[in-house]
Every structure is written in C-alpha cells, then in structure tokens.
Chains A and B, each alone.
Chain A
Amino acid sequence: MKARLEDSLLDVALAGFGAVSEALYPESDCGAPSHRDADMVARARSWFLTLPPESRRLLLALFASMELLGAGFAPALGRFSRLSAARRLRVVERLRASPIAPLKFLGDALKQSTSMIYLSHPAVLAHLGVYKSCDHPGAGLVPVRADALRSAPGATS
C-alpha cells in the first residue's frame, strides 16, 4: 500500500517536474538543448530515486504540489501540466519575484532543482563548452584536453 502510494506520488511529481521543465527549458533557436534534448524527466526520476528518503519526499512533495495545488484551489485551472507552457513560465516567474518569502522560496526551488538536472546533461555541458584538464570516472560527460592548463596563463602575482 505504502509502496503504491509512493509510486503514485512519484508519477505526479514527475508530471510536475516535466511541466516546469518544458516551460523553463523550451525549444529555441539559440542552440541550447531543450528539456527534451536534456531528457529531463527520466534523469529527474533517477535523481529522485538516488536521494535519501527524506530529501526525496521533500522534492516529490514540491513538484506534486506544484502539479496539483492549482487544481485544488481553482478546479477550472486544472493540473499545472495542462496549462500552456507560456502560462507555466509566468507562474514560475511570478513565484520567484514574489515578495512573500515562502512563495519566492518555492519559485527558486523549482528553478534550482530543474537547473541541477538540466545543467548536468552532456549535451548542455557541450553547449556551454565545458572541458576538463584531466580524466575522471565520469568520462564521456565532458571532453578532456590534456593541454588545458598549459594553454591557460598562470597567475603571476
């Protein structure tokens, strides 16, 4: 029973995560990968399931309440994921700009947690131009240039 409830919460939270991601990381002509390119929902699922239970529940509650709360207060609005992407973006922008501390905190948490997932995808790192001076077990995530430090000037104070 408990496991089924947790699975349902995960599904709703991932719907909320996907809805926020689609609004914040849209298709664009600037060359940046979109939410789809960055495989946001599948990677969020993996992240959620890696987190310790207390932190996982906190994040699931964050995204599940984002997905459902609008419908709870105003049934005409429906679930967050049913709003247009432009409207979802405005909601997050308004939350982040809110003078009410808990709402601002909520908006920042949505942006920060989705950014963590977006900015760790290899395609996004490639778009940023990230490379490293040495190898790492995370090989494949970013390219390694052995001469990276030699080509950078050293500090000279």
Chain B
Amino acid sequence: MIAGLEDVRSGYDVDCDVVVVGSGPGGAVAAANFAEAGLRTIVVEAGPVVRPEDMTRAAPLFLARYYWEGGLRMVAGDAPGPAMGGRCVGGSSVVNSAIMLKLPQWVREIWSREDGLGPLLDGAELDRAFERVFRACRVAPTPLAVMGRRNEIVQRALSHQRVPNGPLPRAVHGCEGCADCITGCHEGRKQSVDRSHLREPAERGAIDVMTCSHVDRVDLRGGRAVGVSGHVVDPVTWRRGGRFRVRAKRVVLAAGAAHTPVILLRSGISGRGLVGGTLTAHISVGAFAIMDEVVDPWVGATQGWGAISPDIRGLKYEALWAAPSLIGVNWGGVGEPWLRELGDMKHAAVVALVYRANAWGRVRVGLGGGPRLSLRVPTADVHTLMRGLKVAVDGFLGVGARYVSAGMTGVPERFGTPREAEALLDRRIRPRQVKMTFNHLFGSCRISADPRRGPVGLDGGVRGVDGVYVMDGALFPSGSAVNPQATIMALSDVLSRRLAGLAA
C-alpha cells in the first residue's frame, strides 16, 4: 500500500520488523529485499507520490513541489552552488537523468585500500548486485533514434578531441526523447525506483509506503533502536499534520547524504563527530556552445551521450539539457542585450563535466532542523576541472561552434577560438570564479572498517547503537567518479540482503 496524505494526515502509530527512512534508490532496494525475505516493512517518505498528472513543464513550480527546498538548496563554502535532490516517492531517481554506470574498478580499489571495504567489494557479490539492479531497472544504452542534434553535437565534439565516447546507459525503457527527465517522465518510461522496486511489493501488500512523513529522530531505548518518530507535512500547504511513530527493531536510514546524518544528529548519534563530518561531492560545470546550425536542444534524450576522460582520472563528460528556466539562468548578461541573445538558445549544445574532486565538508543541523551543507573545493582540483573544460570547449569549437561560454567570472565570457580558451588554464583561477553545482553528494556517514574514519561498520550498522543502519549515498567513503545511483543501489542491495539473510 502507498498511503497518501489523506491516509496519514492526522498521524499514525504502527509496528513492523524494519522501517526504512527514504524511498530513493538506496531505500527502495533495501525495502524490496526486506519484503522478499518476509519481513514486515514500512517505508517512511517525506515527499508525496508524483503522478503523471502532477507533472508540469513549468519547471519552477515542479521543483518547488518535488525537490528538497524547492530546488533552491545551496552548498556553502568557497564555491557556493546548488545541490538538487528529489523529495518524492522514488527520491532523486524520479527527477534525475537515469544514468546508470558501475563503480569503476580503480575506485573500488581505493575504497578497499583506505577503508577496508574488500569484504564488500572484492568478491562477485557486488557484481551480482549490479546485475540485479540493472535488470530490475531495464538499463540499456540510449537508443540512437532519440538522440536529437544536441547529443549528436556533443558526440562530434568529443570525437574531435579524440575522447572515446558513446551512448550513456540509462534506466529508461522506450524513451521518447522529450528532454523532460528533470521535471518527471510523465509516460513512465524512466525506470525510477518507485516503479522498478516499490510498486509491485506495495501493490501486493508486502511494503507500506507512508508518504508526506518527515522523520524527526530515531527512537532509542538503552542504546537500541525501537523505531522512528516524526510529523506529517502537507506537501501543498506545507502545514504540519499529526505526529507519527513507527515501531521497529531495525531502522534503515536511506534519506540521502544530506538528511541521513541530520536524522542521526537529531537523535543524539554523532559517531564521535564523524556523522556529517566527511561530506564530499562531485563538482560539476557546464560548457554552452552556440552553433551556426539550428540545434533545437529541447529535442532528444536529456543526457544521451557521454564519455569518461582518458586523460583526467575521475572526470566524466555528459550531454545535458533541462528546461530553459533552469539551464538558462546563468546564460549571458542582463537587460536588453540578454534579451537579444535569447534567440541563440535554439543553436545551443551543452556538455556537463562531473569531476571526483577532493572536496570535503560537513553536514550540520540548520536552524529549522534541516541540513546545512558546506564544502571546501581545492583550487588544484578546480584547475584540473578547467583542463577538462578546455577539452570540451576546443571540441565544440572544432566542430563549428560560433562561441562557447562557461559562465565564469575572471575569464572571457565567450571563447571564439582555442587560443582564447587558454584563459581556462590560468593558474590564478579560484573556486569562487567557477559556477559549480553539487548534485552528487556523498560520504556524510562513511562506511569504514576503521572506526576512526567512519561511523558506519561494514554491515551498514551505525557504531555505538544497535539496530540502526545506513543504506544510501551517505555511505560512500569518497566520490564514485560516475553517477552514483547504480552504486547506491548495488551497495544497498548487498547490505540489505545480508541483513535480511537472503542469498547474495
């Protein structure tokens, strides 16, 4: 059963074997496994169900309703930038571009070496978990038929720079190339986890999903989890409803790298200062090319084409589009000159760069009780990112772009030649000059064999308390170097199957 607002508005008090907090990629996989093992499972989700009729191409309104903080969440620090995440049943899998890539071998080796994750990563168990996840989400390369010109131009630009490239594998079946991933796939072609993992067990009554329910804390008695408690929030009026309590001996936190540590901290579980203390993120920038030809970038798969940099370890290129009201906010200047430039948007192609930087920070409990995020981005990593950006700019210029813009300060607003783009290699560039985004957050409750490095042990259990587990991106010891959804799901699969006693 999926309980909507009217079912939960006045509050509730229920019992189960396992309560899973968060219905995103980590929580949905864990809940499905617990249900398969015959455990009575309740998923508590802060957001509502997003039905096709709730979706709108008016992006500001969609974000206001279905993203955390209305899509306006910011990461503070030396390069402040947005960090967007879904707040609905299915979590960010409902509002991302569904890219599914396995954790690279070299990152596995780092995680094994630095945090002793060999018992989780070195055998075939994780590979089998990836296979299960990919099968459930119907992962396949983006079909050429739905690429459109924008993806094709990114392909040409990467090939021009001899960067090996290809169609990105995505959890989408029957994509129609409408480039609306970020405001919801109204035809249900995207295999978000509400569809791939929650729907069937919820329909047959093996899982109850309680929506619109904000968890305040994990309830503890004598150092043992006895459930979670919180309050209902109307997702339209934002008014508080009744209080709820879910009694369970096992609590699985899968509320994401921003919220999982905050729930622990509000519960008095600080893990000797480690909870929330090792936040990290991929840093992202975009290159906007204006071509001579008409591109019509609003047609074609949102992120259909991409590449892993062969020269810069941990750097990934991916074609990108979103509603003009999102992708256009950093576009050009202001006033009448900007209005005159708007006609260029139909000539645009965009590539996003995602880099596994050595950026570290912290999640704290903010004034309103929600997460307050901060990160420090090393200047050296920004310079590495700029090297990658130069490759993208040169690639676009090499295939006929009139100009390319990166929306940065302190360098020319537009690059018309590769020589002009050499400004990107200026060693004086500082993080705050770069318009970065931080949409892949991790590490705020690191899993580690070493209790001095992470508050979570190799079984996913939070040290110092019994019955509290973490199964989301907060576990990652460091950046995954690729889009994290597949790894979050696979790790959650391994940990939850072990906890439920299912065959690996």
**Interface residues of A, Cβ cutoff 8 Å to B:** 23-26, 28, 30-32, 46-47, 50-56, 58-59, 89, 92-93, 96-97, 101, 104-105, 108, 111-113, 115-120, 124-125, 127-134, 136-138, 141-142, 148-149, 152-157
Contacts and interface: CB of A to CB of B under 8 A. Distances in A.
A127 B55 CA distance: 23
Contacts of A96: 334
Given A23-B334, A93-B333, 14 more contacts: A24-B334, A31-B343, A50-B61, A50-B70, A89-B334, A108-B330, A129-B296, A129-B345, A133-B178, A136-B56, A137-B56, A142-B57, A149-B146, A157-B166
A115 B299 contact: no
Interface residues of B, number: 67
A115 B59 CA distance: 12
Contacts of B331: 115
Nearest to A105: B80
A141 to B, nearest CB: 5
Nearest to B69: A55
B115 interface: no
A130 B166 CA distance: 26
A156 B405 CA distance: 26
Contacts of A156: 144, 152
A28 B339 contact: yes
A87 to B, nearest CB: 12
Interface string B61-83: 10011000110100000001000
18 contacts: A23-B334, A24-B335, A26-B339, A51-B64, A105-B80, A108-B330, A115-B331, A118-B325, A120-B323, A127-B343, A130-B298, A133-B178, A137-B52, A137-B56, A141-B57, A149-B299, A154-B147, A157-B159
Nearest to B336: A28
Given A129-B296, A138-B55, A119 B339 contact: no
Given A30-B336, A105-B80, A152-B149, A115 B178 contact: no
Given A92-B334, A138-B57, A131 B148 contact: no
B181 to A, nearest CB: 12
Contacts of A30: 336, 339-340, 343
A133 B144 contact: no
Interface in B422-459: 432
Contact of A155 (B55, B57, B305, B333): B305
Interface centre among B60, B177, B368 (most CB of A within 10 A): B60
Contacts of A59: 72
Contacts of A53: 238
Contacts of B147: 152, 154-155
B255 to A, nearest CB: 16
Given A47-B64, A53-B238, A115-B329, A25 B151 contact: no
- A-B CB proximity, top 7 nearest: A138-B57, A120-B325, A32-B339, A119-B325, A50-B64, A51-B70, A154-B144
A138 B58 contact: yes
B180 A136 contact: yes
B496 interface: no
B124 interface: no
Contacts of A101: 432
B72 A58 contact: yes
Contacts of A152: 147-149, 152, 296, 299-300
Contact of B370 (A54, A131, A157): A54
Contacts of B370: 54
Interface centre among A24, A31, A51 (most CB of B within 10 A): A51
Nearest to A92: B334
B186 interface: yes
B178 A132 contact: yes
A24 B178 CA distance: 30
B339 A149 contact: no
Contacts of B155: 155, 157
